[in-house]
Amino acid sequence: MKTLILGGGGFIGCSIASYLLHLGNYQLTIADNFFRQGGDPDHQVKDLEKMGVEIISGDFTDPRSFDNLDRFDQVYMLASVVGVDYVNSMPHEIIRINSMLIINTLEWIRKKGCGRALFSSTSEAYAGAIEQFDYPIPTSEKVPLVVQDISHPRFTYAVTKMLGESGFINYASKLDFDSVVVRYHNVYGPRMGFKHVIPHLAQRFTDGESPFKVYGHDQTRSFNYIEDAVQGTVLAMEKGGAGEIYHIGDTIEITIEELVRFVGNIFEFDGEYENAPTYAGSVVRRCPDISKAIQELGYVPSVNWKDGVRKTIDWYRSYLQSCENLHESFYDLSS
């Protein structure tokens, strides 16, 4: 199976590539600009290359970068800029980069064709529906996509993911390929960068913050360990219905305070905790209904959040210690 992973240098993309290599029968290509690695593939990507994965580096906001790509049986479209810090600091670039990546990919598929394409979306796309219209939680794929405030930079990422969902489904309906969409719900694990809550907690506890502020302590999330997310994504590609949308996540809903205190226990933190407000636009509750993925894909997440968080924190503690020893920046890690 000739398979392309656009954005394959990132956290989820690399993990999918490793998983597919383990399964066998895939001729894999990773395409990425490797922005978070300073423009060059990191050691994990280079290890994949040694195992036979083709690595193509380029700026895929430029349609000419697609000239290096042939036709593929499968295309995983994971490429995008993500992270609260990025959407707040450069919302105009989120719009430009993510939208161009989507349009360029679709226009390349129009010219070259493909068997099936998977677009990676996000639960952020319907956060406004939950906040404004009180839709039930766990949330199903049928909840409408709603933006609360179109002018707020917080929602630029969600807007581009809405564009991608519509683009892939509608291009596929008119052209000769299948598409499927997955909406991720707080995927986490080792090597995910520092723009996300769990590695950020690891850094703050390592830095000795005290009292330790718990931002949005009463908000809830369900966290999806990377191994489960990868298996769900591949199942969606292999088994998902054409034009269908699937939640990839877990159903265990916990408060941010519960998460913070659990991580604090791992660090043997004995200081005080202090509740603090979180950033504007952050949804109060988030937990997916994954019954559709269970029934149609056979997707069953198996990693308990405490086990996954402990594995992730152990990895980040080791990484941060190595950075301290080598006087490296905490932010050299790719996402």
| Cα distance between residue 186 and residue 188, in whole Å | 6
Q: Which residues contact 136 (CB under 8 A, 6 or more apart)?
A: none
Residue 267 falls within a domain, yes or no?
no
Residue 82 falls within a domain, yes or no?
yes
pTM (2 decimals)?
Answer: 0.93
Q: How confident is the model at residue 330 (pLDDT cuts 50, 70, 90)?
A: very low
Q: Is the pLDDT of residue 327 over 60?
A: no
pLDDT value at residue 39:
60
DSSP 8-state code for residue 303: -
**What would the pLDDT profile of 286-302 be if each residue is shown by its tens digit?**
999 999 999 999 999 99
| Cα distance between residue 214 and residue 273, in whole Å | 7
Q: How confident is the model at residue 9 (pLDDT cuts 50, 70, 90)?
A: very high
Composition of the chain by helix, strand, coil, percent to 5: 45, 20, 35
Residue 195 falls within a domain, yes or no?
yes
Nearest to residue 284, comparing CAs of 311, 313, 256? 256
User: Number of structural domains, the chain?
Assistant: 1
**CATH at residue 52:** 3.40.50.720
Full domain range(s) for residue 22? 2-254+278-332
Q: Are strands 72-77 and 2-6 parallel, antiparallel or unpaired?
A: parallel
Residue 264 falls within a domain, yes or no?
no
pLDDT value at residue 41:
76
Residue 182 dihedral angles phi and psi, to the nearest 5° = -115, 135
Residue 260 falls within a domain, yes or no?
no
Residue 165 falls within a domain, yes or no?
yes
Write the single-letter amino acid at 119: F
Q: Are strands 212-215 and 72-77 parallel, antiparallel or unpaired?
A: unpaired
Residue 164 falls within a domain, yes or no?
yes
Write the single-letter amino acid at 129: A
Q: Which residues contact 154 (CB under 8 A, 6 or more apart)?
A: 84, 87, 88, 279, 280, 281, 282
Q: Which residues contact 197 (CB under 8 A, 6 or more apart)?
A: 186, 188, 221, 256, 259
Cβ atoms of 157 and 195 closer than 8 Å: no
DSSP 8-state code for residue 139: B
Q: Is the pLDDT of residue 198 over 80?
A: yes
Positive or negative, the Cα torsion across 83, 102, 160, 175?
negative
DSSP 8-state code for residue 231: H
**Containing H/E element for 220?**
strand 220-221
Residue 266 falls within a domain, yes or no?
no
Mean pLDDT in residue range 232-250: 98
Mean pLDDT in residue range 64-91: 91
- Please give the mean pLDDT across all residues of the chain: 92
| Residue 243: burial class (beta carbons within 10 Å; 0-12, 13-18, 19+) | middle
Q: Which residues contact 243 (CB under 8 A, 6 or more apart)?
A: 169, 172, 173, 178, 179, 180
Q: Is the pLDDT of residue 38 over 70?
A: no
Could you tell me the end-to-end alpha-carbon distance of the chain, in angstroms, rounded to an integer?
26
**What would the pLDDT profile of 123-172 be if each residue is shown by its tens digit?**
989 888 888 888 889 999 999 999 888 998 989 999 999 999 999 999 99
More confident site: 329 or 52: 52
